Structure 1
Amino acid sequence: MTNLEHLPNEVFYELFEYFNVIELIHAFRNLNSRFNKLLFTGFRSYRLDLRSISKTNFNLVCTQYLPGIIDQVCLLCLSNECETPQLYRHLLNFNLTVDEFTHLHALLLHRIDSANVLLEITSDCFYLPHLTHLKITKCKFTSEYAPKELLNNIWHLNSLTDCTLDMTFEQSLRFSGLSMISKTMKYLSIKCHTFSSMELSHLFSLTPHLQHLSINIGETADIKSQYIIPAPLLTRLNLHFGGTLSTLTKILRSTPNLRHLKLETESINLNGNQWQQLLTEYVSKIETFRFLIRVLSLKSDHVEEHLDEFFQTFQTSFWLDEHQWYVRCDLPQQSGKIFILYTLPYCSKSTHVVYQNRWSKTTLPQLDRSNCFDQISDVFYKRCKLNSSLPTNCYPNIHRLTLSLPHDRNFWTIIPQLDSLTSLKVIEKKEDDRSEYQLKTLVARTRRLNTLNIDALLFLRLLRMNSHHASVRQLELLPYHSKKNRYLNATQCAFLADSSFGQQCEVLLVYIKTRTIILDLIRKMCNLRALHIHCQDDHADADLVEWLKNSLPDTCSIARCRSGPIQIWIQ
């Protein structure tokens, strides 16, 4: 301890940034007066991530820790997802609102499916002078509010430079109805909304200092008269594009200083020479061009000969020498005449489906092919036969895997290691004796697996094989093919609770027959902190909620997610 205290304050401040708030204060509070001063006076960069916090620790943070550090929190993450249901309402119960985090630089709002709540939070953000980053993800709303009010709030934030919006409204977003101009926004990503060229033009007028943009464009009609105002500061553009070539040309014409373009499309089919002409004419300063294109082959006969001719246009000096832009072209076995053309390294962040190729070629040199799929983190594996066009060991960094069982014998050749896997979703369309053996092997070969999404009856079969895994903390037991036995009975749930998986489980989603099973699960599963229940004797009224409130301790928070599961946040 004496040697540790010789370190300068700056070293401790850097060290503190690697701890979450609970760990940091638990570890260093009250060791001596110097550490208390470092924690509660000097350190100004607390990162408060409440997305996976237990209710006990949440209460501890709100009552004992936040009063002393609330003006030192630089990042705040809030979520109403399964691990922390109704979190924001509980924050309000402690008289804590977002505007009290006066030093806040970044705010993440995840799975908050109430436009009322988001409108309230973004209104509080008006009083946060240092807020530069706002991220709203996976939020779905009914018709509580028109999205215009929420967008106006966001565009009203005076210091906001970086904004991500991933939210779905019952009413469509309409940027053309906004009038607030952001003088600070430089980085903007908008998902779950498809822009027309007219709306894009209006977006450019609302964000004149925009440098990086990621959006969806879709325009079925070729609106030749529609002019898109220039965005001269835009240097990076990520497009999910479903429009015409004329619309794409207008977009490129409006971004003369574009240097980095990423494109995913199913509507544009240009060969290498045509792409060269388009880029050279409209975005001559381009440095990187990444794309994933799924299109219909133009010729109905002799598809492979046509693809050979098409592929040769990407083997010119422009592609290989001037820019070192390498492409791969695949004709999947079951796709008919749909072919897939993409740059390497593979650039898409969407779920990657492993498929069998009937024809495939790449311009990438052999020596550079080992890491061309390193960025793929989300994979859906169905079935695949080995051939020369599908390299082995090409998915080294998978974090999320969706797998159909029983899998074919080539799975471990194509995906030989799963060291980075944290989430596994298993689909078994009909019961097969091979499935549980393959699943047991797969689970045993993962080291960091945290979440298992699986048919409930298949999971029970896995338990009977004495399978275990030390790191799994979240179980989502769903009735994928169990039509007759949709709900688990008391005996099955007791078997689950007594297993090693049940004893270490912290978050559980399950379908059960009777409400009394809920009490048994909470009593037996000692580490359980969040429970999501679909109950057969629940009739979607307040009866079950009231029964649970009367049956469980007051420290448990109980709510219904609209017409969905009962959510219980356990003390």
Structure 2
Amino acid sequence: MKRTKVQYNNLVQNSTSNKKQKFEDQITVINLNKYLFEDLANEILYEIFEYLDPYDIYKGFYNLSKRFQNLTINSNFLTKINISIISKLNFEDYYQNIVIPNQHRIKLLRLTNSFMVDIIFSPPRTILNFDHLEILILDKVQIRYFTKVFRYLIKLPKLHSLTISLIGYNQSLDVIFSNIFHLQKLKYCKIEYEIKHLEDKSVQLYFTHRDFSPIECLIINGRFPFHRFSNLLWHLPQLQHLSINCLVQFDDYVKQEKLPHIELKYLKYVSLQFEFVYFNEFEKIIKEFFYHVQILRLTTHFDEECLNAKRWEELIISHMPYLRIFDINHNDYIENNNFTYHHLINQFNSSFWMKKKWFFTHQHDWAQCLDSGIFYSTEPYRRKDYEFHWEIDEQNCSYKQDVNFNSVQHLSIHSRQITNIYLNYFSNVTQLTIKHYFKTSDDSIITTLNRMIPLVQLTELAIESYNFPFDEIIKLLRFTPNLYVLKLDLLSMKEIKSNFIEQSENFQYVSKINKIKNLIIREGCSLNQIQLIVNLFPQLEYLKTSMNRKEINQIIRYLLSKTNNKTQHLFFLCISKTPKICLKELNILIKSENLLNDYFMKFINRDLYVWW
């Protein structure tokens, strides 16, 4: 499992501490002797390259001189091509000078939008030129293109790792998984897809008895039908690591297919999130497949049996004897009037749990309500995400306890009111989601947040509240100078006088210091709001929002105007919730008024994408 457990981030991570120390020593010598950069030895330059993305190496060094051009071309770093979100012009330059000449050398290839995939793999058989490719990462690929590419992926002799996210709704999961299972050298697979909730019943997923896969690590981010779960496991005899973020039981109960017994003797790690899957059904899966599991991570909802400590104890002793880590997160409402949430969770204080050193705590998600809450594992808390719900005071619940949350990178605040007495500190959070415009006991929202997380280190912020005042958002942005991604609901902007806002000190300051390049707005924007946004975020590269149908042409004309310096960095636009006729109308507008010289445009599931 050495190679399959190595995630992409590990493949491009910085050098070891010894290399770093050596590199720092060399830089010290360089500073003391005041060398010119051009005088540095090739070995030192190659060590510098280790700290840079291949595209940054190309942009920074390729055109400096013939020597640097040769260094760039001949370096091993070009075997790992990680193409982030860049403009069409920059991509095509990189593609011509680096990707095409090195097709036969490339071992890792990551493409971050469907337009890039169209260019590099057009026609699809072009992928055969990448005959040394081992790791392929494709973001936002259409399902129809996915099937065309797969017939050639099968022929790549060294491909062992595939990560793919599909855009558009995909109801035929059997097409996806049958293709993946035909990759007979695949060890690692991560797939993301979306199906319509209202059409869950029509999801098609069938496995044949020939569809055995050598996959050792499988990560599924998408709604997967529970009635096909045992079938999936049966076809993965080498599986070691499994993660599914939405295992769902559809309305129409479908009986699990009866299959011959198979022992998954390599399966050590399982992480599952349930939707309408009940413990009685999941228990059967545990008994049949999880005997060798060492780490079990579950996220469950609204099934009291998941908090039956005695039942878990018997199940673990008899059917998961090797279990080392039991990590559960359960959200529930207790219907029995004779019990509170505490009655159930106190069952997990017996000697069995103490001996295993498995400890738990909880929080309440409704004010003054002791019969609902979230129960989760601690000592330590291992998850990278955490939902903050604490809505109850100490008089009603004295069970609150301090927990070490050093593992948490994404904090989601669901509370409508936060008192300083219950604040935990999340020292390593880089992503923050705010669900409501919450009240604080006596301090400002910013002061309260700064007591919970180091605001200055945030790189991604999502505000999903309809009533979060826009001037409060601007104040918050003043204290988050390292944000790269911002997601907003902007209904609160409707009553704003933009001239008044723009003249404020906070607006002027934020517009100068913020680094936001990626902005997603869930609600529609008017031309005035778009102008306000552009003035506030002059570094913007990617914008996704819906638009007033009558103002689309005006907004596009404004955003693409060649005299508008404030949109000079913008190169990717997604107009959501728009009719398909806009594809034709915008093409005509752009060409007739010469707004762009070179661009791509496509329409997918009511979203219109433009890249230039």
TM-score (norm 1): 0.82
Map residues 48-63 of structure 1 onto 2, 5 A cutoff. Answer: 48-63=81-96
The alignment status of 1:549 with 2:582, answered yes or no, reads no
The alignment status of 1:255 with 2:294, answered yes or no, reads no
Query: CA offset at residue 52 of structure 1?
Result: 0.8
In 2: Cα distance, 1:150 partner to 1:291 partner: 30
Counterpart residue number, 1:71: 104
CA contact (8 A) 1:62 1:94 kept: no
The answer to which of 94-103 and 411-420 deviates more is 94-103
In 1: Cα distance, 2:105 partner to 2:186 partner: 19
Counterpart residue number, 2:221: 191
The answer to which of 259-268 and 215-224 deviates more is 215-224
CA contact (8 A) 2:519 2:542 kept: yes
The verdict on how the C-alpha distance between 1:226 and 1:261 changes in structure 2, with shifts beyond 3 A counting, is same
The verdict on how the C-alpha distance between 1:463 and 1:405 changes in structure 2, with shifts beyond 3 A counting, is farther
CA contact (8 A) 2:366 2:373 kept: no
CA contact (8 A) 2:365 2:389 kept: no
Counterpart residue number, 1:473: 517
In 2: Cα distance, 1:361 partner to 1:73 partner: 58
Counterpart residue number, 1:205: 234
Query: CA offset at residue 541 of structure 1?
Result: 6.0
Counterpart residue number, 1:515: 553
Which of 124, 135, 143 is residue 163 of structure 2 equivalent to? Answer: 135
Counterpart residue number, 2:211: 180
Map residues 377-388 of structure 1 onto 2, 5 A cutoff. Answer: 377-386=410-419, 388=421
User: SS where residue 49 of structure 1 aligns?
Assistant: strand
Query: CA offset at residue 341 of structure 1?
Result: 1.0
CA contact (8 A) 1:405 1:427 kept: no
Counterpart residue number, 1:121: 149
User: SS where residue 56 of structure 2 aligns?
Assistant: helix
In 2: Cα distance, 1:258 partner to 1:535 partner: 44
The verdict on how the C-alpha distance between 1:551 and 1:353 changes in structure 2, with shifts beyond 3 A counting, is farther
Code of the residue aligned with 1:244 in structure 2: it is: Y
In 1: Cα distance, 2:269 partner to 2:47 partner: 32
In 1: Cα distance, 2:501 partner to 2:386 partner: 27
Higher helix share: 2
Counterpart residue number, 2:178: 152
1:371-400 C-alpha deviation (Å, 9 max, x unpaired)? 336424141444223275x33324641413
Code of the residue aligned with 2:291 in structure 1: it is: P
The alignment status of 1:356 with 2:391, answered yes or no, reads yes
Counterpart residue number, 1:295: 332
Query: CA offset at residue 272 of structure 1?
Result: 3.2
User: SS where residue 145 of structure 2 aligns?
Assistant: helix
Map residues 110-509 of structure 1 onto 2, 5 A cutoff. Answer: 110-112=139-141, 114-137=142-165, 139-141=167-169, 146-169=172-195, 171-177=202-208, 179-182=210-213, 184-196=214-226, 199-215=228-244, 216-219=246-249, 229-241=262-274, 242-253=276-287, 254-266=289-301, 267=303, 268-297=305-334, 299-301=336-338, 303=340, 307=342, 309-320=343-354, 322-334=355-367, 337-344=371-378, 345-347=380-382, 352-357=387-392, 369=403, 371-372=404-405, 374-386=407-419, 388=421, 390-394=422-426, 396-405=428-437, 408=440, 411=445, 412-413=447-448, 415-416=450-451, 417-427=454-464, 429-430=466-467, 435-454=469-488, 455=490, 457=493, 460=498, 462-466=501-505, 467=507, 468=510, 469-479=513-523, 487-489=526-528, 493-494=530-531, 496-497=533-534, 499=535, 501-509=536-544
CA contact (8 A) 1:392 1:414 kept: no
The verdict on how the C-alpha distance between 1:179 and 1:13 changes in structure 2, with shifts beyond 3 A counting, is farther
In 2: Cα distance, 1:269 partner to 1:402 partner: 28
CA contact (8 A) 1:262 1:290 kept: yes
In 2: Cα distance, 1:98 partner to 1:407 partner: 54
User: SS where residue 246 of structure 1 aligns?
Assistant: helix
The alignment status of 1:562 with 2:600, answered yes or no, reads no
Query: CA offset at residue 176 of structure 1?
Result: 3.0
User: SS where residue 71 of structure 1 aligns?
Assistant: coil
User: SS where residue 118 of structure 1 aligns?
Assistant: helix
CA contact (8 A) 1:519 1:552 kept: no
CA contact (8 A) 2:578 2:607 kept: no
Query: CA offset at residue 421 of structure 1?
Result: 1.9
Query: CA offset at residue 236 of structure 1?
Result: 0.8
CA contact (8 A) 2:181 2:211 kept: yes
Q: CA RMSD for the aligned pairs?
A: 3.6
The answer to which of 34-43 and 371-380 deviates more is 34-43
User: SS where residue 357 of structure 1 aligns?
Assistant: coil
The answer to which of 544-553 and 206-215 deviates more is 544-553
Code of the residue aligned with 1:399 in structure 2: it is: Q
Query: CA offset at residue 126 of structure 1?
Result: 1.9
Query: CA offset at residue 108 of structure 1?
Result: 1.6
In 2: Cα distance, 1:251 partner to 1:317 partner: 26
Counterpart residue number, 2:573: 531
The verdict on how the C-alpha distance between 1:541 and 1:160 changes in structure 2, with shifts beyond 3 A counting, is closer
1:149-206 C-alpha deviation (Å, 9 max, x unpaired)? 3322211112211111221346524143463212x31001123233435x23322332
CA contact (8 A) 2:169 2:195 kept: yes
The verdict on how the C-alpha distance between 1:188 and 1:563 changes in structure 2, with shifts beyond 3 A counting, is closer
In 1: Cα distance, 2:424 partner to 2:411 partner: 17
1:343-384 C-alpha deviation (Å, 9 max, x unpaired)? 0244555672534136556697x5xx3x33642414144422
In 2: Cα distance, 1:407 partner to 1:462 partner: 23
Structure 1 runs not aligned, ≥5 long: 481-485
CA contact (8 A) 1:195 1:218 kept: yes
Map residues 38-117 of structure 1 onto 2, 5 A cutoff. Answer: 38-43=71-76, 46-80=79-113, 86-92=115-121, 97-112=126-141, 114-117=142-145
CA contact (8 A) 1:163 1:187 kept: yes
CA contact (8 A) 1:376 1:397 kept: yes
CA contact (8 A) 1:293 1:341 kept: yes
In 1: Cα distance, 2:598 partner to 2:389 partner: 43
Code of the residue aligned with 1:391 in structure 2: it is: L
The verdict on how the C-alpha distance between 1:255 and 1:8 changes in structure 2, with shifts beyond 3 A counting, is farther
In 1: Cα distance, 2:591 partner to 2:334 partner: 61
Structure 2 runs not aligned, ≥5 long: 1-34, 197-201
CA contact (8 A) 2:334 2:372 kept: yes
CA contact (8 A) 1:22 1:57 kept: no
In 2: Cα distance, 1:204 partner to 1:453 partner: 37
User: SS where residue 542 of structure 1 aligns?
Assistant: helix
CA contact (8 A) 1:217 1:239 kept: yes
CA contact (8 A) 1:194 1:217 kept: yes
